[in-house]
Amino acid sequence: MESKKIRVLIVDDSAVVRQSLSEIIQSDPELEVMGTASDPYMAVSKIRNEIPDVITLDIEMPRMDGLTFLRKIMSQHPIPVVIISSLTAKGTETGIRALEYGAVEIITKPQMYSKDFILESKIRICEAIKGAAQARVKRKSISPVIYVEPKFTADAVLPPPAQTHSMIKTTEIVVAIGASTGGTEALKDFLIELPHDCPGIVIVQHMPEKFTTSFAQRLNELCKITVKEAEDGDSVIRGRALIAPGNYHTMLKRSGARYYVEVKEGPFVNRHRPSVDVLFRSTAKYAGANAIGIIMTGMGDDGARGLLEMKEEGAKTIAQDEKSCVVFGMPKEAIKLNAADKVLPLDKMASYLLTIAH
Amino acid in position 182: G
Q: How many CB atoms lie within 10 A of CB 252?
A: 25
Chain-centre distance of CA 145, in angstroms? 23
CB 132 within 8 A of CB 104: yes
Q: How far apart are CA 200 and CA 291, in angstroms?
A: 10
180 is catalytic: yes
* Cβ atoms 109, 17 nearer than 8 A: yes
CB atoms closer than 10 angstroms to residue 239: 16
CA dist., res. 42 & res. 59, Å (int): 15
Catalytic site includes residue 196: no
Closest among 180, 76, 73 to 124, alpha carbons compared: 180
Rounded CA-CA distance 65/78 in Å is: 18
Residue 58 known to be catalytic: no
CA 137 to chain centre: 16
Per annotation, catalytic residue among 53, 302, 321, 324: 302
| Neighbour-count burial of 275, counting CB atoms closer than 10 A to its CB (0-12 exposed, 13-18 middle, 19+ buried) | buried
Catalytic residue among 38, 85, 121, 180: 180
Q: Are 261 and 151 in contact (CB under 8 A)?
A: no
Element (H, E) at 13: none
Closest CA to 124 of 66, 59, 186, 206: 206
Cα–Cα distance, 210 to 214 (Å, whole number): 7
Catalytic choice (20, 28, 206, 214): 206
Relative orientation angle of helices 89-100 and 66-76, to the nearest 10 degrees:
10
Catalytic residues: 180, 206, 302
